[in-house]
Amino acid sequence: MDQSNLHNAIQNAIKNGKTVLGIEFGSTRIKAVLIGEDHTPIASGSHEWENRYENGVWTYSLDDIWHGLQDCYRKLGDEVLNKYNTPLTTIGAIGFSAMMHGYMAFDKDETLLVPFRTWRNTMTDEASRELTELFGFNIPQRWSIAHLYQAILNKEEHVKEINFLSTLAGYVHWKLTGHKVLGVGESSGMFPIDSSTNDYDSDMIMRFDEKNKANILAWKLQDILPKVLAAGESAGVLSETGARLLDPTGNLKAGVPLCPPEGDAGTGMVATNSVAERTGNVSAGTSVFAMIVLEKALSQLYPEIDMVTTPTGKPVAMVHCNNCTSDLNAWIGLFQEFTTTLGVEIDQNKLFELLYQKALQGDADGGNLLAYNYLSGEHITHFEEGRPLFVRTPESRFNLANFMRVHLFSSLGALKVGLDILFEQEKVKVDQVLGHGGFFKTRDVGQKIMAAAMNVPVAVMETAGEGGAWGIALLASYMLHKTNGEPLEAFLSSHVFASQNGKTISPDPKDVEGFAVFMKRYKNGLAIERAAVDSMK
Helix or strand run (H / E) with residue 59: strand 57-59
The number of distinct structural domains making up the chain is 2
Q: What is the DSSP letter of 344?
A: -
- CB proximity list for 67: less than 8 A, separation 6 or greater: none
Contact 149, 155 (CB under 8 A): no
Angle at 525 between CA 521 and CA 528, to 5 degrees: 160
- 360 with 490, same domain? no
The confidence score (pLDDT) of residue 464 equals 56
- What CA–CA distance (Å, rounded) separates 386 from 323? 9
- 316 with 427, same domain? yes
Residue 391 β-bridge partners:
370
- What CA–CA distance (Å, rounded) separates 504 from 498? 15
- 502 with 519, same domain? no
- 421 with 501, same domain? yes
- 296 with 429, same domain? yes
| Domain-located, residue 208 | no
pTM score, whole prediction:
0.88
Radius of gyration, CA atoms only, the chain: 24
- 366 with 291, same domain? no
Q: Which residue has the higher pLDDT, 121 or 524?
A: 524
- Strand duo 306-309 + 315-321: pairing: antiparallel
Predicted confidence band of residue 102 (pLDDT cuts 50, 70, 90): very high
- 428 with 501, same domain? yes
- 385 with 304, same domain? no
Please, what is the angle between helix 125-135 and helix 144-153, to 10°?
A: 110
- 420 with 404, same domain? no
- What CA–CA distance (Å, rounded) separates 402 from 366? 5
Q: How does pLDDT run across 209-224, given as a tens digit for each residue?
A: 999 988 888 899 999 9
| Domain-located, residue 43 | no
- 441 with 391, same domain? no
Predicted confidence band of residue 384 (pLDDT cuts 50, 70, 90): confident
| Domain-located, residue 155 | no
Contact 19, 2 (CB under 8 A): no
| Domain-located, residue 30 | no
CATH (domain of 487): 3.30.420.40
| Domain-located, residue 307 | yes
Res 466 pLDDT > 70: no
Predicted confidence band of residue 1 (pLDDT cuts 50, 70, 90): low
Percent of the chain with pLDDT over 90: 85
Contact 494, 348 (CB under 8 A): no
- Written as one string, the DSSP assignment of 120-188 is T----HHHHHHHHHHHTS---TTSHHHHHHHHHHTT-GGGGG-SEEE-HHHHHHHHHHS--EEEHHHHT
Q: How does pLDDT run across 139-153, given as a tens digit for each residue?
A: 999 999 999 999 999
- Strand duo 279-284 + 432-436: pairing: parallel
- 362 with 331, same domain? yes
| Domain-located, residue 134 | no
Predicted confidence band of residue 537 (pLDDT cuts 50, 70, 90): confident
By residue range, what is the domain housing residue 280? 273-322+416-506
Q: How does pLDDT run across 341-381, given as a tens digit for each residue?
A: 999 999 999 999 999 999 999 999 999 999 999 998 898 99
| Domain-located, residue 357 | yes
Mean pLDDT value across residues 94-112: 96
Contact 60, 98 (CB under 8 A): no
The confidence score (pLDDT) of residue 120 equals 85
- Select from 106, 107, 212, 210 the least CA-distant residue to 149: 212
| Domain-located, residue 238 | no
The confidence score (pLDDT) of residue 500 equals 74
- 407 with 335, same domain? yes
